[in-house]
Structure 1
Amino acid sequence: MNASYDVKFWDIRPNKSTKPGENRKTISYTVRWTVAAREKSKTFRTSAQAKNWLSDLRQAANKGELFDLETGLPQSMLKAKEARTVYDFVRAYIDMKWPHAAAKTRDSISDGLATVLPALTKDRPGRPDAETLRKALRKYALLPEAKRPDVPLESKQALRWLEGASLDLTDLNETKTVRLALDALALRLDGKAASANTIRRKRAVLHAVLEYAVELEELPANPVHKVKWKPPKTTETVDPRVVVNPRQAEALLTAVASVGGRGRGRRLQAMFACMYYAALRPGETVALRRQDCHLPATGWGRILVDVSRPEVNVQWTDTGDAHEERGLKHRGRDDVRPVPIPPKLVKILRQHIDEFGVAEDGRLFRSERGKVVASTAYTEVWQDARALALTPAQVASPLARRPYDLRHAAVSLWLNVGVPAPDVAERAGHGVDVLLRVYAKCLDGQQEIANKRIEDALAA
C-alpha cells in the first residue's frame, strides 16, 4: 500500500535570513508534516501561503483521506496534481474545497468557474451555446461526484465537448490566455456588462484557483498578477437613500402586521423588528431561539447571536436544507455576539412569543407549517408593507427596498446618535474599519462638526 492515514503536522517554521549585516528578517515559511513517519516539507514566500497549505492538509486529514507516501499529498490534492487540462484541474479543486466551504461559498465558486471555463477552450466545432454550457457546469460538472445527479443527454454532450476543448493547464502561463478568462468575467450571458461586485467576486474565485495551482507547483506564479487588467471599482458604502428614519421604520413595522394573508404579516412583524432594533442580519434573525433571548419585564434585554441560517439553493448544502446552520459571519464557529436590545424590542418579542409560541428547537420565527421562514415569503410581505406605509414617490425610490435595509438603518442611527464605533461594531458584528467604511455616507452632520472644529482652530 503506497498511502497511509498516519499523518502528523508540525508548526510552520519561519526561515531567517543568514546574510551578513542583515537584521535576520524572515524570508520564507516552511510547512512540515509526516506520512507514516516519512517527513515532508514545502516552503512558501509568505506566511499566508504557508497557512493556507497547512489548512488544506489538515482538512484532508480530518476528512479521513489517505495520504500518498511518495508525495505526501492527500488524495484530493493528488487528483489536482495529475490534472492536465484546466477543466480537470477545476473539478479537482471543487472536490478539495467542497467539504469545508459554506453553502454560499460553494455557490459562489461554481458561479465564477462556470463563467471562466467556457472561455478557456480551444476553437473546436460543435461548441454548445453559452446557456447550455453554463447549465451543464452549474447543475452537474461543478459538483463533487457524490453530489452529482444523473446528467441529461444535452448536458452530457456539452460537457463532453468542454472536456475535449479545454486548454492545457500550462496554457495559463500565457498572459493572453488569462486575459480571456478575465474578459469573460466582465460580461453577462446576454453580452451586457456585469456589475462591479459580480466581477470582483468572480475574479477572487479565479485568483484562488490559480493560487492553488501555484501551491501544487503546476504553475510557477499566479498569472493573474502579470495581466494589466483592472476590474471596475466596487461600491462598498451603504447608499444613504435606503436608510429609513425612526418614524418611517415604525410605520413600516406597523404596516407589516396588516399585510399578508392568514395573519402572515403579524407573524413576521417581530422578525423585522429584530433587523431594525438589533441590527440582525436576516440569516441571524430566522435562526434566533427563545433560549438566546433575555427578555425582562422592564428595561433593556439582550440577544446572544451564535448561529446564522442564510438561504441558499439546496444543491450547495450538505443537509438538503435551504437554511443550513452556519457560524457567524467573519467569526469563529463557536463565537457568540451579545446584542443589547431596547425595551421596545423586548416588548415586541414577549408579545410575539405569547401569541405564536416557539418551534420545537426554540426558534422564534417560523412559517405556518413550522418551517424556517423563506426569503421569498418575508420579502413579499415587506413589499406589501412598503406600499402601505410609504408614499408612491418613496415606494419608487430605494428607501428600505429590502428587509436588509432595516439593519443599515439601525447601524446608521447608532452611529449618528454618538454611540462609539467599537461598540456599534460589536453589536452589529462588523470590524471597526469596515463599519466606518461601509457607513461613511450615512453619517449625518459629521461634516458640519469637522468644519466647526477647523474654523475654531483657525480663529485661535
Structure 2
Amino acid sequence: MKSYKVSVWKLTTNRMTKKPTYLVRWSVDGQAFSESHKTKALADRFRAKLLRAVDKGEPFDTVTGLPDALRGGRAALSLLELAIKYVDRRWSTASAKQRESMTDALAVAVPALTKAMRGQPEVRCLRRALRSYVLPTHRRECEQPNEITAAVRWLERASLPVAELADIEQVHTLVDALGRKLDGNPAANQTYRRRRAVTYNALEYAVELELLSANPLDKVRRKRGQQPVQEVDSRVVVNPRQARELLTAATYVGGWKRASGRRLRAFFGCMYYAATRPGEALGLRRSDCHLPAKGWGRITVEETRPSAGKSWTDSGEAHDRRGLKQRSAGEVRIVPIPPPLVRMLREHLDEFGAADDGRIFHSERGNVVASSSYYRVWTRAREFGLLAEQVSSVLAAKPYDLRHACVSQWLNSGVPAPEVARRAGHSVEVLLKIYAKCIDGQEAEMNERIMKGLGEEEATDYE
C-alpha cells in the first residue's frame, strides 16, 4: 500500500558500536522505519532524498517505507515479473513434467497477491493467461484471445511488488491460495505441497536477487493432515498366476484385426518381468535388447518417454525425451530378463517390427503409444482376466501396479535388496520404504514359514 503521511526526523548517532554510525529515521502512515549509515555524509544524503520525495508529493510504500524513486529497479520488481524471471532461469534444464508443475503453481501464486483494481478478471481467466501464455517461454509470442490480453494487462498493473511479502498478512494470503482449488475447497495435500515447494523455490530466487532478506514462507507453517502414503498398497499387487492371465487377456483386446492389445502385451510384460516404468518401456529400442533363442536375456534401460503434453516439451511432441529418473545424463540400467519376457519381445518384433527410430513399442503409425491408449487396453484386459469381484477392486488397477508386483516378487523370492534396487532403478532406502510388500495370494505361504520357524508342524486353532 501507499501513503502520503510521511515524517522525516533528524539524524541520530549510534555510539553503541566500535565506530559511531548515523541513523536516518522516518515514519510512513504511523509506522517507523530506519536506515543506518557509516558516515554522517551518507546519512545526510539519504535523508535529503527522503525530504525531496516528500516535497514532490511522492507516495511512500507502507511495507518498505520508501518512495517509488528509491524503490526502483530490483526492489520494485512485481511478483509477476519475478515468476517470469524464475521460469526463464529454470526452463531450459527442467523436464516437461517440472515445467508443467512450475507453471501450475506460479499461476496460482501470482493472482493471489494483487492490488484491488477495477476490471479484475475471473481467477480462472488469470490462471489460464499465466499458464498458457505468460509463463511458458515458447508461448509468449503466440496470438492471445481478447480476454487473455485484458487479463495480462490487468496483472501487469495489479501484481504486488515482491517486497510486499515482508508483510506477514500477505504471506498468509499466499499460503491460503496455494491450498485452495478454484471453487474454494481445500486442495489435496500433495497438490498443496507441490505448489508450496515451487513457490518456495521462486522466493529463494528472490532472496538470491536481494529482493528479500529471507524467504517469507519460512515464517508460516501449516499442518495439512498426514503425509502422503509412501508405501505401495499390497492390495494392488498381483501374484504370478494373475499376472500371466492378465498379460494373456491383453491379447484379446481389439480383436485379431485391430491388434491393439497384442501390440501392448510385451509392453505390459516389461513392467511385470523387468520392473520398467511405462516411460522406460516406451523408450526401449531394438538395439537395447539382447534376446537369445533360449534362456535369459537382458535389456539396457537408457531413455524414458514420459507423457507430458505438447505444451511442455522442447520437441512439441506429447512425450518428453529424458534420461533415467533421478540419474545423471548418460547413465544406463542393465536388467536381466527371464525367458517369458524374452519370448514376448521376440514375438512382438516378429509381428510388429520396430519403429523407424528403433523403438519397440509404437502405434500403427509409428508414434509413441499414448498413455490413454495403454490405459484403455489395460482396463479391458482386467475385465477379461480377473474375477468380477477383483475387477471392482484395486487389484492391478493401473499398469504401473505391474512394476510393484515385479519388485515385490523379486523381494519375496529372496533376491537381495541391493540387487533389486539396482534392477528397479531405486536406492535401497526407497526400495525398502515403498516396495517391500508381499504378493497377493502368498499369505498362507508366509504363515507356513512362520509356523516352521516357531517349530510347529501345523497351525492350531484356539477358541
| TM-score (normalised: structure 1) | 0.77
Q: Give the whole-Å Cα distance in 1 for the aligned partners of 2:402 and 2:438.
A: 13
**Does the Cα contact within 8 Å between 2:307 and 2:319 map onto a contact in 1?**
yes
Q: How does 1:250-289 map to 2 (within 5 A)?
A: 250-260=244-254, 262-289=258-285
**Does the Cα contact within 8 Å between 2:245 and 2:385 map onto a contact in 1?**
yes
The one of 234, 242, 252 equivalent to 1:240 is 234
Q: How does 1:59-98 map to 2 (within 5 A)?
A: 81=74, 84-98=77-91
- Residue 227 of structure 1 and its aligned partner are, at CA, apart by 0.9
The one of 210, 213, 229 equivalent to 1:220 is 213
The one of 335, 344, 366 equivalent to 1:370 is 366
- Residue 117 of structure 1 and its aligned partner are, at CA, apart by 1.5
**Does the Cα contact within 8 Å between 2:249 and 2:385 map onto a contact in 1?**
yes
Q: Give the whole-Å Cα distance in 2 for the aligned partners of 1:449 and 1:199.
A: 45
SS of equivalent to 2:306: coil
Q: Which amino acid aligns with 2:296?
A: W
Q: Give the whole-Å Cα distance in 1 for the aligned partners of 2:173 and 2:231.
A: 30
Q: Give the whole-Å Cα distance in 1 for the aligned partners of 2:208 and 2:422.
A: 36
1:408 aligns with 2:401: no
Q: Match for residue 348 of structure 2?
A: 352
The one of 335, 341, 352 equivalent to 2:337 is 341
SS of equivalent to 2:336: strand
- Residue 454 of structure 1 and its aligned partner are, at CA, apart by 11
Deviations 1:133-157 (A, max 9, x none): 2211111111116654211111111
**Does the Cα contact within 8 Å between 2:112 and 2:174 map onto a contact in 1?**
yes
**Does the Cα contact within 8 Å between 1:275 and 1:406 map onto a contact in 2?**
yes
**Does the Cα contact within 8 Å between 1:141 and 1:148 map onto a contact in 2?**
no
Give the stretch that moved more between structures: 115-124 or 365-374: 115-124
Q: Give the whole-Å Cα distance in 2 for the aligned partners of 1:455 and 1:214.
A: 61
Q: Match for residue 70 of structure 2?
A: none
**Does the Cα contact within 8 Å between 1:275 and 1:285 map onto a contact in 2?**
yes
Indicate how the Cα distance of structure 1 residues 83 and 235 shifts in structure 2: closer, same or farther if over 3 A, else same: farther
1:113 aligns with 2:99: no
**Does the Cα contact within 8 Å between 1:200 and 1:234 map onto a contact in 2?**
no
Q: Match for residue 186 of structure 1?
A: 179
Indicate how the Cα distance of structure 1 residues 146 and 267 shifts in structure 2: closer, same or farther if over 3 A, else same: closer
Q: Give the whole-Å Cα distance in 2 for the aligned partners of 1:450 and 1:91.
A: 60
Give the stretch that moved more between structures: 99-108 or 414-423: 414-423
Q: Give the whole-Å Cα distance in 1 for the aligned partners of 2:386 and 2:433.
A: 29
Root mean square deviation of aligned Cα: 2.4
Deviations 1:217-244 (A, max 9, x none): 2111111111132344212221212111
1:166 aligns with 2:159: yes
Indicate how the Cα distance of structure 1 residues 272 and 323 shifts in structure 2: closer, same or farther if over 3 A, else same: same
SS of equivalent to 1:251: helix
Q: Match for residue 317 of structure 2?
A: 321
Gaps of 5+ in 2: 1-72, 456-463
Deviations 1:109-144 (A, max 9, x none): 011111221212223232222221221111111111
- Residue 385 of structure 1 and its aligned partner are, at CA, apart by 0.7
SS of equivalent to 2:92: helix
Q: Give the whole-Å Cα distance in 1 for the aligned partners of 2:300 and 2:230.
A: 27
SS of equivalent to 1:203: helix
Q: Match for residue 390 of structure 1?
A: 386
**Does the Cα contact within 8 Å between 2:288 and 2:300 map onto a contact in 1?**
yes
Q: Give the whole-Å Cα distance in 2 for the aligned partners of 1:108 and 1:83.
A: 27
Larger radius of gyration: 2
Deviations 1:38-90 (A, max 9, x none): xxxxxxxxxxxxxxxxxxxxxxxxxxxxxxxxxxxxxxxxxx95761101110
Q: Give the whole-Å Cα distance in 1 for the aligned partners of 2:381 and 2:363.
A: 18
Q: Match for residue 115 of structure 2?
A: 122
Q: Give the whole-Å Cα distance in 2 for the aligned partners of 1:447 and 1:117.
A: 54
Indicate how the Cα distance of structure 1 residues 267 and 124 shifts in structure 2: closer, same or farther if over 3 A, else same: same
**Does the Cα contact within 8 Å between 1:84 and 1:169 map onto a contact in 2?**
yes
Q: Give the whole-Å Cα distance in 1 for the aligned partners of 2:190 and 2:99.
A: 17
**Does the Cα contact within 8 Å between 2:95 and 2:322 map onto a contact in 1?**
yes
Indicate how the Cα distance of structure 1 residues 448 and 115 shifts in structure 2: closer, same or farther if over 3 A, else same: farther
Q: Give the whole-Å Cα distance in 2 for the aligned partners of 1:392 and 1:267.
A: 25
Identity %: 53
Gaps of 5+ in 1: 1-79
- Residue 176 of structure 1 and its aligned partner are, at CA, apart by 2.2
Q: Give the whole-Å Cα distance in 1 for the aligned partners of 2:427 and 2:396.
A: 24
Q: Match for residue 133 of structure 2?
A: 140
Q: Which amino acid aligns with 2:320?
A: E
SS of equivalent to 1:304: strand
Q: Give the whole-Å Cα distance in 1 for the aligned partners of 2:219 and 2:453.
A: 45
Give the stretch that moved more between structures: 395-404 or 183-192: 183-192
Q: Aligned residue pairs: how many?
A: 377
